[in-house]
Structure 1
Amino acid sequence: MDIPETQYAKSGDVNIAYQVTGDGPFDLVFIPGYVTHLEIQWRMAGMAPAFERLSSIARLIRFDKRGTGMSDRVSGAPTLETRMDDARAVMDAVGSRRAAFYGLSEGAAMSILFAATYPERTAALVVRSAFPRTMRAPDYPWGMTEEEYARVVERDLQIFGPRARAREAVRALVGNLEDEAIDAVVDEYRLGSSPGALKALHGMNKEIDVRAVLPAVRVPTLILRGSEDTVVPADLARYISSRIPGARVVEVAGASHLAFGKLALRVVDEIKRFVTGVWEAGGWEEAEPDRVLATVLFTDIVGSTARAAEVGDRAWRGLLGRHHELIRRELVRFRGAELDVAGDGFFASFDGPARAIRCARSITAGVRDLGLEVRAGLHTGECEVMDGKVGGIAVHIGARVAREAKPGEVLVSSTVKDLVAGSGIRFEERGTAELKGVPGEWRLYTVAES
């Protein structure tokens, strides 16, 4: 197969490089992990045949994530939320309304988040070498310690050092391939990234935690793992499958964390078998999702009754009108959807938690110019979709979080905090709280001033 033309989709102000190959009956979007370079990959004997085989069954859509490969370089590393925006921009550019997603390594976390957030655009999900969280926690023994992760970063940065050390670093990821194949991967990583960009990517990956999202994935899901994967523990595949409804696990004999050559073709065969089965079962038929992952925002004015009595009815109506105009302006700016207004309180939803936080922060700052204080609360969770609005326990949790907020404070649940890795948003712990009508204790965080 000839190297296809590389094209560019605009995602905000950033150009995302993408390629489309094949003309199968359905679309397959590949979300890679780590570092890629679209054109160099076609020159890699261990990788090109896998792309050719995938292109024989589907219209294969691939792209270099921002900051890597042929896409625009950016400062820092993109968040999972931003990478979802990039994936949608590429899908829109090629006219793909619905696709199967194949997420590899850290690309699996973004694919999981995408499938839960945009089920109307996701027909099926395949993840390989997936980890829902990077770092160890009391309830998550498979993650790395700070010391272990620091060693991984130091090792991977050797890719930009002497070639002998670069080969050792790559072998830790791909297994014991021949030197020629290892050198091809070294070249791809060197040309597709830089020491600073790779370090920033590791910084973002360190904060990944999509565990709370797993039960919200409602599309057919296949979890692949290599039997020789020394990066991701075997138990993690079972952990993920136990939390995604209906997901199943397939182990690819002989494959490492990444796969090349004949092993890559074995992986492709499993993907082909699964995705083709979903297609033949009518999985691409459009249906309105009845559940979706969303971030809900609640705001209300502090001391509104006393303030209304102080200024009088007419002045209060004018002040309330300006308050409403400001919030609606910010909702448009940050792509929020206004769902309800009750007196001086707003209820809105967002498809990304970082956008929701920034909107809430802008609102709390903006209303001070009106002489008002608002409190804001946010939660991300699986919501029921009813007549274009969202409901369910996640909405109740968001409302309860807002009630815990102090004047001028933006208060979020731990789920929101976990999902904005790499965003630069800082938090201060507020301890735990019992939310009325919601089981258990909830850890809450204040959004720190920028």
Structure 2
Amino acid sequence: MEYRFADCVLDVSRHTLTRGQDAVPVEPLVFDLLRLLADHAGELVTRDQLVEALWQGRAISESAISACIAAARKAVGDDGKQQAIIKTVSRRGLMLVAEASAPEVRPVPKAASPGVQRIRYARNRDGHQLAYAISGEGPPLIRFPPPLTMDLEFEWSNPPERAFVDELSGRFRLLRFDGLGSGQSERVEPNYDFGVQADDAAAVADAAGFDRFAGVSMSGGVLTAIEFAARYPERLSRLAIVGGYADGRSRRGQTEGPEALKSMVAEGWAESQSAFATAFITSYFPEGPLEDVRRIVRHMQAACPPDVMLKDRDAINNASVAHLLSQVKCPTLILHARGDAVHPLSEARKLAAGIPDAELVILETANHFPYPGNKVWETYIETLTEFLSG
């Protein structure tokens, strides 16, 4: 979504400002002020509206407000004397007075009928195809998928995965997508930069007509979700993290664990009914059920080839989003299994301590996240959906 005024383009989805042909670096607060004025182009934005939108109503000094306004004017090529773009209305507020074009509004795809999944495709900034699907009605919610392990078709047809999709679709307009290189998305080598994957998520949200929404991330999907929250703070209303972590296994000094898991992948990922692949997934779901574990194995083997899976393991083992946690500004809930052997509870505590005002709920299970039939399934779903509903 873009706003155009004077010689400027304010791109909300990419969080960028260009003037003429040049990119203009702007701080998040300055960007938010420009978007607020563009949202109300030609209308008065009062001081109280400004403080509420930018500082959530906190007490802010006049000098801080003035500095933000001055920076916004400088970014768009204006100043306090000319006020050709941003005008101060004495003792009342601000107004964007330059002629502004309304943002392009994309048609919002309809959600699928119950029992029917319609897969659509968006393109990322490199032109590659990203598969996505929408189900349910209600407040918008996006699911950030773990890297290379999701498949829209498998989720729709596999009973335990479908149960989770149905629970969310019963309360929200749920947007799910497959990461580049896996599932129904284009099978090209993915970019292992999780910031780029966050941009892919923004491209899918744009195609689906989602502007501001809640998010849920599971396992390695937290890496993309945290990057997204830091890059696009104005788009994420709240974030739930299930089985997540701040530092990959290699960053925690666990040198044996990653190599053992990688060995399982290298030895048996390409073989059907492989004991190595089953052992790999069982480490995530030691409580089973075993038949669900076997289904997950078959799905993941189909979703991602062995060589790509090995590169993915290296990427997530060496990744860290610890430096971004303080930049997550939306309400955040962390749900984590007490007995999780892959990503220990200490990682969940690290997330909760690093994200401002985050909350941690500990689930009494050893599974990475619960499946239907697990003793904490109902508590898990109720806690998750209650939080996401706000």
TM-score range, shorter chain: 0.5 to 0.7
Matched, 1:233 2:344: yes
Taking structure 2 as the reference length, the TM-score comes to 0.66
Matched, 1:156 2:270: no
Structure 2, unpaired ranges of 5+: 1-113
Do 1:77 and 1:204's aligned partners in 2 also have CA atoms closer than 8 Å?
no
The SS at the match of 1:160 is coil
Taking structure 1 as the reference length, the TM-score comes to 0.58
Displacement of 1:155:
1.8
Do 1:4 and 1:19's aligned partners in 2 also have CA atoms closer than 8 Å?
yes
C-alpha offsets along residues 61-118 of structure 1, whole Å, 9 cap, x if unaligned?
A: 1011001101011225432022111101110011000111111111112111211221
C-alpha offsets along residues 297-335 of structure 1, whole Å, 9 cap, x if unaligned?
A: xxxxxxxxxxxxxxxxxxxxxxxxxxxxxxxxxxxxxxx
The SS at the match of 1:120 is coil
C-alpha offsets along residues 104-138 of structure 1, whole Å, 9 cap, x if unaligned?
A: 1111121112112211100001111111111455x
Aligned length: 271
Within 5 Å, which residues of 2 pair with 1:26-425? 26-34=139-147, 35-75=149-189, 77-136=191-250, 142-145=252-255, 147-157=256-266, 158-161=268-271, 163=273, 164-254=275-365, 256-263=367-374, 264-277=377-390
Structure 1, unpaired ranges of 5+: 278-450
Residues in 1 aligned to 2:366 and 2:142: alpha-carbon distance in whole angstroms = 22
The SS at the match of 2:284 is helix
Do 2:249 and 2:257's aligned partners in 1 also have CA atoms closer than 8 Å?
no
Matched, 1:23 2:133: no
Displacement of 1:235:
1.6
User: Which residue identity lines up with residue 140 of structure 2 in the other structure?
Assistant: D
Residues in 2 aligned to 1:107 and 1:122: alpha-carbon distance in whole angstroms = 15
Task: Provide closer, same or farther for how the CA distance between residues 228 and 156 of structure 1 changes in structure 2, counting only shifts above 3 A.
Answer: farther
Residues in 1 aligned to 2:183 and 2:311: alpha-carbon distance in whole angstroms = 15
Displacement of 1:225:
0.1
Misfit runs of 4+, over 4 Å: none
Residues in 2 aligned to 1:37 and 1:62: alpha-carbon distance in whole angstroms = 10
Do 2:133 and 2:177's aligned partners in 1 also have CA atoms closer than 8 Å?
yes
Do 1:133 and 1:143's aligned partners in 2 also have CA atoms closer than 8 Å?
no
Task: Provide closer, same or farther for how the CA distance between residues 3 and 226 of structure 1 changes in structure 2, counting only shifts above 3 A.
Answer: farther
The SS at the match of 2:339 is coil
C-alpha offsets along residues 180-235 of structure 1, whole Å, 9 cap, x if unaligned?
A: 21221111101111101101111211221111111111110001101231111112
Tell me which residue corresponds to 2:121.
Answer: 8
Displacement of 1:54:
0.3
Displacement of 1:161:
3.0
Do 1:77 and 1:200's aligned partners in 2 also have CA atoms closer than 8 Å?
no
Task: Provide closer, same or farther for how the CA distance between residues 273 and 143 of structure 1 changes in structure 2, counting only shifts above 3 A.
Answer: farther
Residues in 2 aligned to 1:152 and 1:175: alpha-carbon distance in whole angstroms = 15
Residues in 2 aligned to 1:202 and 1:130: alpha-carbon distance in whole angstroms = 15
Displacement of 1:3:
3.6
Residues in 2 aligned to 1:266 and 1:184: alpha-carbon distance in whole angstroms = 24
Residues in 1 aligned to 2:380 and 2:191: alpha-carbon distance in whole angstroms = 28
User: Which residue identity lines up with residue 152 of structure 1 in the other structure?
Assistant: L
Aligned residues: CA RMSD:
1.8
User: Which residue identity lines up with residue 246 of structure 2 in the other structure?
Assistant: P
Residues in 2 aligned to 1:52 and 1:10: alpha-carbon distance in whole angstroms = 26
Residues in 1 aligned to 2:291 and 2:359: alpha-carbon distance in whole angstroms = 35
Residues in 2 aligned to 1:23 and 1:227: alpha-carbon distance in whole angstroms = 33
Do 2:341 and 2:366's aligned partners in 1 also have CA atoms closer than 8 Å?
no
Tell me which residue corresponds to 1:319.
Answer: none
Residues in 2 aligned to 1:129 and 1:101: alpha-carbon distance in whole angstroms = 14
Do 2:220 and 2:244's aligned partners in 1 also have CA atoms closer than 8 Å?
yes
Residues in 2 aligned to 1:162 and 1:258: alpha-carbon distance in whole angstroms = 25
The SS at the match of 2:239 is strand
Residues in 1 aligned to 2:289 and 2:243: alpha-carbon distance in whole angstroms = 22
Residues in 2 aligned to 1:162 and 1:72: alpha-carbon distance in whole angstroms = 23
Higher strand share: 1
Tell me which residue corresponds to 2:60.
Answer: none
Do 2:237 and 2:330's aligned partners in 1 also have CA atoms closer than 8 Å?
yes
